């Protein structure tokens, strides 16, 4: 897999993690922080940061695992 494709895949998983984290964080903190607007915004920011990092790491793990599987399945047996 090329470096450019690898970077794009990591960016996509980080973005997906950001969106999912922001949505779930906003929902969680809106019930915890009773101040209107503050809970969802803080939850979205925190959830977005955490979700982005999780997405980036998960994406890297999936990409690296997929590459390794392809290499192992195409290389001749020792």
Q: What are φ and ψ of residue 77, in 5° steps? A: -65, 145
Mean pLDDT (the chain, rounded):
75
pLDDT value at 63 more than 60? yes
Give the integer Cα–Cα distance in Å for 48 and 7.
19
Rg (CA), the chain: 18
73 against 78, higher pLDDT: 73
In a domain, 74, yes or no: no
For residue 42, the enclosing domain spans 3-66
Mean pLDDT for the stretch of residues 8-15 = 77
pLDDT value at 28 more than 60? yes
Tokens of 45: 């920011």
Domain count, the chain: 1
In a domain, 28, yes or no: yes
**Measured at the alpha carbon of residue 42, what is the angle toward residues 37 and 48, in degrees to the nearest 5?**
125
pLDDT confidence of residue 35: 67
pTM higher than 0.95, yes or no?
no
Give the integer Cα–Cα distance in Å for 72 and 26.
42
């Amino acid at each position: 897999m090329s470096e450019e494709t690898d970077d794009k895949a990591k960016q996509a998983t980080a973005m997906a993690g950001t969106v999912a984290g922001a949505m779930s964080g906003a929902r969680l903190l809106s019930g915890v922080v009773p101040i209107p607007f503050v809970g969802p915004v803080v939850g979205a920011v925190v959830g977005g940061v955490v979700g982005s990092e999780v997405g980036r790491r998960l994406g890297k793990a999936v990409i690296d695992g997929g590459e390794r599987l392809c290499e192992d399945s195409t290389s001749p047996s020792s």
